[in-house]
C-alpha cells in the first residue's frame, strides 16, 4: 500500500461493537464508520464471489494494482536509466525521467482526463513515487510545451518532488503560471525561461540543449540531454511543416543539427503514427479557413480546441483582414489567447476582439465567434449556443458553423448530438470530413519515418500514446534501420537502462511504482478499486438499502424493515418485490440472530446481503449494491 492510499483512507474508528454513540448502536454495513451509512464494499465483494453469477462489465485491469510485491529497485550505477511515469500506455499524463549518476532530469508533467474505467474521477496523474524517493537527485524539469497533458500535473506533483527548477520557453512558462493561479496554496514553481539556443549545464555529466518543433501551440520544443555516453533526444509532441510531403526549409534546418550528433537514444511522439503518409499541413487548413472567412456571407461561428492556439491566433488575423470582429467564447480559449497576448505573440489589433455583450452592435456578417466545445461537451460554448441556453447568441438560418477539429475517440456520440442540434437550427455546418479545416498536431507515419532518418538514433523508445501505437512506431523505426534489439516498447514504470557505456539497452525486471494516481474531488491518491467498482455498480444497477431494527436481547426484528433504493427499480410499481425483500430480511435476521448471544452483526449483514442480493438478481437480473443497516436497541 502506498502513502497516497493511506492518506486517502477515511479515519479509522474503533470496531462497531466498541463504538457507542447513544443508547442505540447503529450497525451500518461498514466496519470503518459506525455512524454513517456508507457502502460496505468488502461485504459486497464477498457476496458477489459467493453468488458466482457472471461478473458485470467491470474493467478491472488498470485500477490500483498494488505494488506490495514489487522487487526492490537497485541503484542505477554507471548506467543511464530511463523511466516513463506516464504517457506510454495512454494519450495524456506524459512524464519521463532520465537518471545518470547523481542527476535526474524530468521531462513534462502532464495529466490525463478521466477514463471510462474510472467514473467520477477528475484527472489521472503520473505515479511519481520513484521521484519522491529520490528527490534530492532531481536537477531539472524540462517542459516541452504548454498543453495540459504536459503541464497539467505540475500543481499536484512539484511540491511532492521538492519543487525542482523548471526550464521552459516563454509561452509555456506563462501557461504554467496561469494554471498555478488556481492552486494558490501550492508553492510558486521555480521557473527559468529558456530559448531554443540555450544550453544549460546541469552537472559535469549532463548538459541540456533544446530545439524548436512544429506543433499546435507556440514555443513547442524538443530537448537534447547530453551525457558522457551520447545524447538523448526527446521530441515532445511534434509534426512536420511540409508542402505535399516535402518538409519545409525550416524543418530541414532544425533537423540538420542531428547529422553530426551522436544520438544514443530517441524518444518521439507516437500519437498519430497509425496514419500513413504526411498529415494535412496547417497551412492548408488555414488557407481553407481564410477562404471561408472571406466568402461566407453571414455570421461565422467557429468551434475549435483551445489547445490549437496557433490556429486561433491565425483565425483572429483573418477576421481582422476581412473586416470581422471576433468574439472569443469559452474559458480555456479566452485563457489561452490572454496568455498569447501576454507573451506578445498576438499580431492583430486590440479592437478586433470585442466583448460578447457588444455583439449586437455589429451586423452578423461582421462577426466571427471563436468558441470551444467542438466535441459536444455539455457546458461548453458551442453546446450552449446549440441548446439555446447561451446568454447572448441565438442561431439563425444564415449562420455558418465551422467545426475546426476532429472527433476525439470516445466523443462520437456527443459530437453527433451537437451536429444534430445545430442542424435543427437550420445553420450551415462545415466539418473536417468535408473540408480541410482541421489537422492534428502530431506526426503521421510518413513524418515519423523522416524524423527517424534525420536523427538516426542508436536506440529508440516510442513515447506518447497507447501500446499499439508504439508497436507501429517501433516498426517504422526498424524499417528505418534500427535493429529490433535496440528498440524498447515501455509500460508506465518500466525501468530501461542503457548499459556498458552506451553499448546496450536493457529492461530491468524491477518496476517503478505505476499504480494509478487519481484526482478525485479534493483528494489526490490511489482511489481504491472498491470505490470505483461501487461507482460502476451504482451506475449500472443502483443501490438497495435495507434498514432493520433488532431487539438485541431477543434477536427479533422490531417492525417491518424499511427499504430505500436509488437507480434500481421504480419502487411504487414493485410492491411485491419489496414485500418479499422485507420478508427475506426479517427471516434471515430471525434465523441467524435468535438465540445467538451476543448477536454477530457482521455475519448477519453478510447473510442479509447474500440472501436479498440473490433474490433481487433472480427477480430482476440486476445486481444493485445491497446495503443492510442494522440498528440494535
Ligand atoms: Zn501537445
Asked whether residue 446 falls in the same domain as residue 483, the answer is: yes
Distance 237 CA to ligand 1 centre (A): 5
Whether the predicted pLDDT of 17 surpasses 50: no
Per-residue pLDDT tens for 387-414?
999 999 999 999 999 999 988 877 889 9
Cβ-proximal residues to 221 (8 Å cutoff; 6+ apart), any chain: 144, 145, 169, 196, 210, 211, 212, 213, 236
Asked whether residue 296 falls in the same domain as residue 358, the answer is: yes
pLDDT band at 6 (very low <50, low <70, confident <90, very high): very low
Per-residue pLDDT tens for 531-556?
777 878 888 888 999 999 998 888 88
pLDDT of residue 325: 97
Asked whether residue 133 falls in the same domain as residue 261, the answer is: yes
Neighbours of ion ligand 1 (CB under 5 A): 147, 237
The CATH code of the domain that includes 497 is 3.60.15.10
Integer-rounded Cα Rg, in Å, for the chain is: 29
Asked whether residue 118 falls in the same domain as residue 147, the answer is: yes
Residue 492 lies in a domain: yes
Asked whether residue 403 falls in the same domain as residue 327, the answer is: yes
Domain extent, residue 424, equals 282-431
Per-residue pLDDT tens for 53-82?
223 332 223 333 345 557 899 999 999 999
Residue 56 lies in a domain: no
**Tally of domains within the chain:** 3
Asked whether residue 267 falls in the same domain as residue 162, the answer is: yes
Distance 145 CA to ligand 1 centre (A): 7
Asked whether residue 260 falls in the same domain as residue 319, the answer is: no
Asked whether residue 128 falls in the same domain as residue 274, the answer is: yes
DSSP per-residue letters across 349-383: -GGGB--GGGGGGS-GGGEEEEES-TT--TTSHHH
Residue 19 lies in a domain: no
pLDDT of residue 593: 79
Distance 57 CA to ligand 1 centre (A): 33
CA 600 to centroid of chain Cα atoms:
44
Distance 518 CA to ligand 1 centre (A): 21
Q: Which residues pair with 231 in a beta bridge?
A: 226, 263
Distance 153 CA to ligand 1 centre (A): 14
The CATH code of the domain that includes 294 is 3.40.50.10710
Distance 150 CA to ligand 1 centre (A): 7
Q: Which of 494, 525, 556 is the last residue of a domain?
A: 525
Asked whether residue 79 falls in the same domain as residue 155, the answer is: yes
Residue 611 lies in a domain: yes
Asked whether residue 80 falls in the same domain as residue 215, the answer is: yes
Distance 325 CA to ligand 1 centre (A): 29
Asked whether residue 325 falls in the same domain as residue 299, the answer is: yes
Q: Which of 431, 464, 481 is the last residue of a domain?
A: 431
> How far, in Å, CA of 38 to CA of 295, rounded?
61
> What is the β-pairing status of strands 459-463 and 504-511?
unpaired
Residue 16 lies in a domain: no
Whether the predicted pLDDT of 90 surpasses 50: yes
Distance 61 CA to ligand 1 centre (A): 27
Residue 286 lies in a domain: yes
Q: What is the mean pLDDT of the chain?
A: 86
Residue 256 lies in a domain: yes
Q: Which of 412, 431, 450 is the last residue of a domain?
A: 431
**C-alpha distances in angstroms, 590 versus 29, 50, 110, 552, 568?**
18, 22, 56, 11, 27
Average pLDDT over residues 590-599: 80
Distance 149 CA to ligand 1 centre (A): 7
Q: Is the pLDDT higher at 345 or at 539?
A: 345
Q: Is 540 exposed, middle or buried (0-12, 13-18, 19+ CB in 10 A)?
A: middle
Average pLDDT over residues 422-440: 91
pLDDT of residue 409: 74
Distance 469 CA to ligand 1 centre (A): 16
pLDDT band at 116 (very low <50, low <70, confident <90, very high): low
Asked whether residue 268 falls in the same domain as residue 310, the answer is: no
Average pLDDT over residues 367-380: 91
Residue 6 lies in a domain: no
Amino acid at each position: 500500500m502506498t502513502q497516497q492510499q493511506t492518506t486517502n483512507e477515511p479515519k479509522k474508528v474503533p470496531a462497531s461493537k466498541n463504538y457507542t454513540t447513544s443508547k442505540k448502536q447503529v450497525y451500518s454495513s461498514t466496519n470503518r464508520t459506525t455512524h454513517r451509512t456508507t457502502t460496505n464494499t468488502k461485504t459486497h465483494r464477498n457476496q458477489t464471489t459467493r453468488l458466482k453469477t457472471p461478473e458485470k462489465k467491470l474493467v478491472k485491469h488498470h485500477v490500483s494494482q498494488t505494488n506490495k510485491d514489487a522487487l526492490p529497485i537497485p541503484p542505477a550505477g554507471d548506467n543511464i536509466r530511463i523511466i516513463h511515469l506516464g504517457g506510454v500506455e495512454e494519450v495524456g499524463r506524459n512524464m519521463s525521467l532520465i537518471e545518470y549518476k547523481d542527476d535526474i532530469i524530468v521531462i513534462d508533467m502532464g495529466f490525463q482526463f478521466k477514463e471510462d474505467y474510472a467514473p467520477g474521477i477528475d484527472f489521472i496523474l503520473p505515479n511519481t513515487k520513484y521521484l519522491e524517493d529520490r528527490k534530492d537527485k532531481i536537477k531539472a524539469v524540462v517542459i516541452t510545451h504548454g498543453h495540459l497533458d504536459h503541464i497539467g500535473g505540475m500543481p499536484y506533483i512539484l511540491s511532492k518532488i521538492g519543487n525542482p527548477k523548471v526550464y521552459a520557453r516563454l509561452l509555456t512558462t506563462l501557461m504554467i503560471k496561469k494554471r498555478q493561479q488556481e492552486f494558490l496554496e501550492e508553492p510558486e514553481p521555480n521557473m527559468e525561461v529558456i530559448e531554443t539556443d540555450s544550453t544549460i549545464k546541469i552537472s559535469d555529466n549532463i548538459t541540456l540543449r533544446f530545439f524548436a518543433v512544429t506543433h499546435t501551440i507556440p514555443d513547442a520544443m524538443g530537448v537534447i540531454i547530453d551525457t558522457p555516453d551520447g545524447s538523448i533526444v526527446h521530441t515532445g509532441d511534434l509534426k512536420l511543416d511540409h508542402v505535399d510531403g516535402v518538409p519545409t526549409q525550416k524543418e530541414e534546418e532544425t533537423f540538420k543539427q542531428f547529422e553530426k550528433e551522436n544520438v544514443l537514444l530517441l524518444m518521439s511522439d507516437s500519437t498519430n503514427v497509425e496514419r500513413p503518409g504526411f498529415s494535412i499541413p496547417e497551412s492548408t487548413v488555414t488557407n481553407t479557413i481564410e477562404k471561408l472567412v472571406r466568402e461566407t456571407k453571414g455570421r461565422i461561428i467557429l468551434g475549435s480546441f483551445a489547445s490549437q492556439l496557433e490556429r486561433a491566433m491565425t483565425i483572429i488575423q483573418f477576421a481582422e483582414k476581412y473586416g470581422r470582429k471576433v468574439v472569443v467564447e469559452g474559458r480555456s480559449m479566452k485563457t489561452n489567447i490572454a496568455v498569447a497576448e501576454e507573451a506578445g505573440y498576438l499580431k492583430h489589433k486590440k479592437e478586433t476582439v470585442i466583448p460578447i455583450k457588444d455583439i449586437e452592435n455589429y451586423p452578423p456578417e461582421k462577426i466571427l465567434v471563436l468558441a470551444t466545445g467542438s466535441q459536444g461537451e455539455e457546458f461548453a460554448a458551442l453546446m450552449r449556443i446549440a441548446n439555446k441556453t447561451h446568454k447572448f447568441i441565438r442561431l439563425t438560418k444564415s449562420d455558418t458553423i465551422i467545426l475546426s477539429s476532429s472527433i476525439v475517440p470516445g466523443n462520437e456520440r456527443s459530437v453527433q448530438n451537437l451536429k444534430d442540434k445545430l442542424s435543427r437550427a437550420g445553420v450551415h455546418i462545415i466539418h473536417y470530413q468535408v473540408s480541410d479545416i482541421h489537422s492534428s498536431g502530431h506526426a503521421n507515419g510518413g513524418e515519423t519515418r523522416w524524423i527517424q532518418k534525420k536523427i538516426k538514433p542508436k536506440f529508440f523508445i516510442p513515447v506518447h500514446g497507447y501500446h499499439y501505437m508504439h508497436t507501429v512506431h517501433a516498426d517504422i523505426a526498424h524499417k528505418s534501420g534500427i535493429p529490433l534489439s535496440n528498440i524498447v516498447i515501455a509500460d508506465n514504470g518500466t525501468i530501461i537502462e542503457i548499459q556498458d557505456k552506451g553499448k546496450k539497452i536493457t529492461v530491468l525486471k524491477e518496476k517503478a511504482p505505476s499504480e494509478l494516481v487519481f484526482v478525485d474531488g479534493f483528494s489526490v491518491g490511489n482511489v481504491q478499486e472498491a470505490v470505483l467498482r461501487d461507482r460502476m455498480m451504482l451506475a449500472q444497477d443502483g443501490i438497495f438499502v435495507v434498514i432493520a431494527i433488532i431487539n438485541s436481547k431477543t434477536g427479533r426484528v422490531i417492525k417491518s424493515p424499511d427499504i430505500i433504493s436509488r437507480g434500481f427499480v421504480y419502487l411504487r410499481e414493485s410492491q411485491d418485490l419489496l414485500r418479499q425483500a422485507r420478508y427475506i430480511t426479517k427471516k434471515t435476521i430471525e434465523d441467524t440472530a435468535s438465540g445467538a448471544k451476543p448477536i454477530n452483526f457482521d455475519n448477519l449483514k453478510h447473510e442479509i446481503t447474500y440472501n436479498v442480493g440473490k433474490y433481487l438478481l433472480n427477480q430482476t437480473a440486476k445486481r444493485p449494491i445491497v446495503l443492510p443497516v442494522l440498528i440494535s436497541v
